[in-house]
Amino acid sequence: MKRRVLPSLNALRTFEAVARHNSFTRAAEELNVTQSAASRLVHSLEEYLEVPLFTRRSRRIQLTDQGTYYSRLVSRSLDLLEAGTVELMSSRAGQGTLSVGMLPTFGTRWLLPRLPSFQKLHPDISVNVVSSDGDLDFTRERIDIAIRFGHGEWSDALVDPLMGEEVQVVCSPLLVDPDRPLDHPSDITRYRLIEHSTRPHSWEHWFRSVGAELSPIDWGPRLEHFFMIIEAAKAGLGMALLPTFLIEEELRTGSLIAPFKTRVSGPGAYYLVTPQTKAGLPRVTAFRRWVLGQLA
């Protein structure tokens, strides 16, 4: 069995405090030990490493180059250990706050209507839903788990496929000229087409899938989120290409109509992405199990 080459944790904590304060006295006060005890612990660390960490001149100390390097390394490691400890303490028995990075429209239309069932199952978990649709950085965004659209390529994470996406062309019923019916998919180029800024090739994919020519297009507004595109389409600003499951209510009430019944499978899918560093937290495990259960 491999044995870790590590000095004492007390020595590391003391060294980090001395390096941060640049003072044995202030470090000793922080750690509630005597100055001589702090000095002995740092000296024992130097003996273990066989490397001088401080130069000592009169009553002043200064980090050596090796000490500067090691102090940064130890500080980052202790920060990580502290964060993990706080995480674990706050999530004992499945409690704590769960921060979910969620695509805005997906969160509004799919997650929020279902969330009461999760809260009923886990009343001790507070859920914080964060609007999040850019590159995933769990540390920077301070989120525990996320739902993303893509191709399942996220490193250092558990990636669970949730659902594919079928899209169809929709518009306001007031937009279509009754004297010029839409008989063929290429006929929609008589109208402005609303663009999704983060999916720039979606219309191209649709035209190719239905076997229509991508003729010159009169582009309408270019919008960032599906909920913006839904509202723009309802306002008559153009034809929109939208996932069917996000517009079921609009299609039911007639505020949006589908000129063609054709639905096209999108090139990506929705995924639940869980960072490996948080996959074992009870609150994260509970949410992951619940989401996958919703799609069973």
Per-residue pLDDT of the chain (296 residues; tens, 9 = 90+): 678 888 999 999 999 999 999 999 999 999 999 999 999 999 999 999 999 999 988 778 999 999 999 999 999 888 878 777 766 666 555 567 899 999 999 999 999 999 999 999 999 899 999 887 777 777 777 789 999 998 888 888 999 999 999 999 999 999 998 888 888 888 998 999 999 998 888 999 999 999 887 778 889 999 999 999 999 999 999 999 999 999 999 999 999 999 998 899 988 899 999 998 888 888 999 999 999 999 87
Distance CA 39, CA 18 (A): 9
**For the chain, where do the domains classified as CATH 3.40.190.10 start and end?**
93-164+269-294, 166-265
Show the beta-strand stretches assigned E in 186-295: 193-196, 219-223, 240-243, 264-265, 269-275
φ, ψ of residue 257 to 5 degrees: the values are -125, 160
- Closest C-alpha among 95, 246, 117 to residue 170: 246
Query: Measured on CA atoms in the order 89, 95, 97, 98, is the torsion positive or negative?
Result: positive
Token pair recorded at residue 208? 């190719």
**For the chain, where do the domains classified as CATH 1.10.10.10 start and end?**
9-90
DSSP-assigned beta bridge partners for residue 129: 100
CATH topology of domain 93-164+269-294: D-Maltodextrin-Binding Protein; domain 2 (3.40.190)
Provide the pLDDT for residue 25. Answer: 92
Q: Could you tell me the maximum CA-CA distance found in the chain, to the nearest angstrom?
A: 96
CA distances from 171 to 118, 148, 204, 242, 258 (A): 34, 26, 18, 10, 7
Q: Which CATH class is domain 166-265?
A: alpha beta
CA geometry: angle 253, 258, 259, nearest 5 deg: 135
Amino acid in the structure at residue 184: H
CATH of domain 9-90: 1.10.10.10
